[in-house]
Chain A
Amino acid sequence: MTGTWIILGAGSALAKAFAREAAKHGAHLILAGRNPQELATQEQDLRLRGAASVTCALFDAMNEQHRGALVAMAAQAKAPVSLYWAIGTMPEEAAMRADAVLCTQMVNSNFTSAMLTCNALLPLFEQQKAGAIVLLGSVAGDRGRKKNYQYGASKAGLAAYAQGLAAHLSAFQVPVLLVKPGVMDTPMTWGKKNPPLPLGVPEGLAKVCWQRAARGGTLYYPWFWWPIMLAILHLPRKIFNKLNF
């Protein structure tokens, strides 16, 4: 699946790892994010790792002009164009309950931005009948837990959108992969109290995403989060509500 990969939220650790994986396979890369200067520091690294070309673009998914510019850029890019979307924030739950602006921002970046970007790129995907879409979800979206249900709600929304998008695009041979990472070894989790499970490694996730992109579907990473989430999903409500996690 070479051609061009648009990487959104390219400043994040997971997106960075994916960009490197795509570079290794000689893809053209468009890194888009809110801080193109910071993205530019990755440019040379990605070229050296094998990227055919690297372009950095200013992109705020909530800005209509930016979305338009991205669509125009994608139309010019080496086909087939694929999308890796990894925009997201995880503010403190209590802070979001107290701050409507913060809460809205979180939903916008974790959910709305994916929907608006995919909607904008949809005609392109319908037309090229190739490429792939990878959306970064979370195990937190499987069942709203006391500790992070606002964040989880945004990811649950994304999961429903990804399902529908996949159904829509199946007629156009464009697979949609929803990735649900468990706790990953990234700056987001660094130094925090994490569950006593092996942390997922960004490079490993990137590799799996690259291999699975052409197939689409849902992917848990590391794999053991699938049985864990299955168990959590089926916990009786009475017990679930008493748990503090």
Chain B
Amino acid sequence: MILWGQTTLTGWGRTSRAATSAARPHTLSAVQEAVQNSPAILAHGLGRSYGDAALPTEAARAILTDQLDQLVSFDPQSGVLVAQAGVSFKTILETFLPRGWLIPVAPGTSFVTLGGAIANNVHGKNHPVAGALSRHILWVEVLTADGRVCRFSRTENAPAFFATLGGIGLTGIIVQAALQLTPAAGSCVAVTQHRCKNLEDLLAAFTSKPERDDYAVAWLDALSGGAALGRSIFERAHIAPGNAPVRLDGGPVFPLDLPSFALNPLSIRLFNKVRYAWVGRANPTLSIVPHAQFFYPLDRIQHWNRMYGKRGFHQFQCVIPDAAAPQALPKLLEMISQSARASFLAVLKRLGQEDENYLSYAMPGYVLALDFPNSPGTPEFLSTLNKFTRDVGGRVYLAKDSTLTADDLAAMYPRLPDFKRVLAELDPQEKFTSRMAQRLGLRRTA
């Protein structure tokens, strides 16, 4: 018998919430039963997508997948790991990194489930080299609307495979997947940091990437404009030998919701100044740090999203294609700096070739990601940024999004019609649906 509990789910940005009834099954048969008994349902993992991608609609229920967390098999010859969808990246790294195996793609947090990472087709700071997660997924097993568990891969129902990867959970409940791990030289990371005075400096840094530094990212002071526009700390890194203990425990818990005035232009300016100054006088600096310190710095503070207070925050993440970047990036940064809608973390990185999945976010270009406290006018401002991105031929990342429109989506994602066609075949009754799907016209409004 399935136990349905009442719970309130939110995205990581906590701007939208869904009071829903949810099941938290331990076994595949329980998932099947829950899906069978629900007219509309959506899988929800660790709740790290920012907007409404993992929120069920009014009428729908949720399946919390965090208890489907068994490792199924691992082949030490090939490095192929089979795991249930609720297994977290944290578990995979803690278990396999000490044995010399790494997940080839690292999103900004290790508190994501394998299923959620697949559904959002996450990428990392090495996208130009490694692609998105989809490139390393050999197959997925999905519980589809007809109640069967189907295996999709590049050779078994490829359209369904490419619709499931990055398909924000709409093809069914991902229950299991095979992930190709990659050999790692060690559990340390060699990081080279240096300061960039302005955007020109920064873009030059990105183009001069040395051979073995697969990872590159810049932390941007999004408040500085004018001559200092694009002032940033640029980091490039590669996996280094050494066995620092792999600890992704999450340290202290952010204990309470900060009052909404705590993060204001002044305090954020101060933070950015200190951070910029912190990168030592030796410029550039090279340091060897434990794996988690480079890849998952925010995981050290659990519930850091409380920093933005009860009203929550939005994250805007777009990719600007290379051709448009030299003109568009300064314009975009200027818009943001002038808006003074203070943004704590602004991150710039690069994407490589488009991935195989239908809703591929990637294109060769620059990714800009920033947080915006959810104050009056913020959603409207984000719509302006969406429109700007759309007009220069870029894309907004669905895992972070909460403000795109159906028209934006159609303009940004050229293979959307293919995606919709596969969805219609797999799930004609529209059993799997989300608030995002509703907003973006991917499913009927119900």
A interface list, Cβ under 8 A from B? 24, 41-42, 44-45, 48-50, 187, 190-192
Evaluate contact between B71 and A49: CB separation under 8 angstroms. yes
Contact of B74 (CB < 8 Å), options: A41, A42, A48, A190: A48
**Chain B, 158-213, CB within 8 A of any chain A CB:** none
- The number of residues on chain B lying at the interface, defined by a beta carbon within 8 Å of a beta carbon of chain A, is 17
- Interface-lining segment among B3-11, B283-291, B389-397, B433-441: B3-11
| Distance to closest chain B CB from A212 (angstroms) | 17
B72 contacts A by Cβ under 8 Å: yes
7 cross-chain pairs, A with B, having the tightest CB-CB distances, nearest first: A191-B5, A45-B70, A48-B71, A45-B71, A191-B3, A190-B24, A190-B5
- The chain A residue with its CB closest to the CB of B64 is A190
* Whole-angstrom CA separation of A243 from B381 in the bound complex: 52
* Whole-angstrom CA separation of A42 from B68 in the bound complex: 11
6 new A-B pairs (CB below 8 Å) besides A187-B24, A187-B26, A191-B5? A44-B70, A44-B73, A45-B72, A48-B74, A191-B6, A191-B7
* Whole-angstrom CA separation of A190 from B26 in the bound complex: 12
- The chain A residue with its CB closest to the CB of B5 is A191
Evaluate contact between A187 and B3: CB separation under 8 angstroms. yes
| Distance to closest chain B CB from A28 (angstroms) | 18
Evaluate contact between A49 and B73: CB separation under 8 angstroms. no
Evaluate contact between B24 and A42: CB separation under 8 angstroms. no
**Chain B, 1-22, CB within 8 A of any chain A CB:** 3-7, 22
With a 10 A CB-CB cut-off, give which of B22, B67, B70, B73 has the most chain A CB atoms: B70
* Whole-angstrom CA separation of A50 from B95 in the bound complex: 8
Evaluate contact between B5 and A48: CB separation under 8 angstroms. no
Given A48-B95, A49-B95, A50-B95, do A190 and B3 touch, yes or no (CB 8 Å)? yes
* Whole-angstrom CA separation of A49 from B73 in the bound complex: 10
| Distance to closest chain A CB from B64 (angstroms) | 9
| Distance to closest chain B CB from A9 (angstroms) | 15
A-side contacts of B94, CB under 8 Å: 24
Indicate with 1 or 0, residue by residue over B46-75, a CB within 8 angstroms of chain A CB atoms: 000000000000000000000100111110
| Distance to closest chain B CB from A197 (angstroms) | 13
With a 10 A CB-CB cut-off, give which of A49, A190, A192 has the most chain B CB atoms: A190
- The chain A residue with its CB closest to the CB of B84 is A45
A-side contacts of B27, CB under 8 Å: 41
With a 10 A CB-CB cut-off, give which of B4, B26, B27, B72 has the most chain A CB atoms: B26
* Whole-angstrom CA separation of A49 from B70 in the bound complex: 10
| Distance to closest chain A CB from B103 (angstroms) | 15
B-side contacts of A187, CB under 8 Å: 3, 24, 26, 67
| Distance to closest chain A CB from B394 (angstroms) | 40
- The chain B residue with its CB closest to the CB of A38 is B27
User: Number of A-B pairs whose CB atoms are under 8 Å?
Assistant: 35
* Whole-angstrom CA separation of A101 from B95 in the bound complex: 44
| Distance to closest chain B CB from A45 (angstroms) | 4
* Whole-angstrom CA separation of A50 from B74 in the bound complex: 12
| Distance to closest chain B CB from A22 (angstroms) | 14
Evaluate contact between B5 and A192: CB separation under 8 angstroms. yes
Q: List 17 A-B contacts (CB under 8 A).
A: A24-B94, A41-B70, A44-B70, A44-B72, A44-B73, A45-B71, A45-B72, A48-B71, A48-B74, A50-B95, A187-B3, A187-B24, A187-B26, A190-B24, A191-B3, A191-B4, A191-B22
B-side contacts of A45, CB under 8 Å: 70-72
| Distance to closest chain B CB from A189 (angstroms) | 9
- The chain A residue with its CB closest to the CB of B71 is A48
B-side contacts of A41, CB under 8 Å: 27, 70
- The chain B residue with its CB closest to the CB of A45 is B70
* Whole-angstrom CA separation of A48 from B74 in the bound complex: 7
| Distance to closest chain A CB from B215 (angstroms) | 27
Evaluate contact between B5 and A44: CB separation under 8 angstroms. no
A-side contacts of B74, CB under 8 Å: 48
B-side contacts of A192, CB under 8 Å: 5
A-side contacts of B71, CB under 8 Å: 44-45, 48-49
A-side contacts of B70, CB under 8 Å: 41-42, 44-45
| Distance to closest chain B CB from A12 (angstroms) | 11
B-side contacts of A42, CB under 8 Å: 70
| Distance to closest chain A CB from B32 (angstroms) | 16
| Distance to closest chain A CB from B81 (angstroms) | 8
With a 10 A CB-CB cut-off, give which of A44, A49, A191, A192 has the most chain B CB atoms: A191
B-side contacts of A44, CB under 8 Å: 70-73
| Distance to closest chain A CB from B272 (angstroms) | 32
| Distance to closest chain B CB from A41 (angstroms) | 7
A-side contacts of B24, CB under 8 Å: 187, 190-191
| Distance to closest chain B CB from A168 (angstroms) | 36
Evaluate contact between B73 and A48: CB separation under 8 angstroms. yes
| Distance to closest chain B CB from A210 (angstroms) | 13
- The chain B residue with its CB closest to the CB of A207 is B249
- The chain A residue with its CB closest to the CB of B26 is A187
* Whole-angstrom CA separation of A41 from B70 in the bound complex: 9
* Whole-angstrom CA separation of A54 from B26 in the bound complex: 20
**Chain B, 77-117, CB within 8 A of any chain A CB:** 94-95
Indicate with 1 or 0, residue by residue over B410-445, a CB within 8 angstroms of chain A CB atoms: 000000000000000000000000000000000000
A-side contacts of B5, CB under 8 Å: 190-192
| Distance to closest chain B CB from A10 (angstroms) | 13
| Distance to closest chain B CB from A144 (angstroms) | 27
B-side contacts of A190, CB under 8 Å: 3, 5, 24
* Whole-angstrom CA separation of A206 from B67 in the bound complex: 16
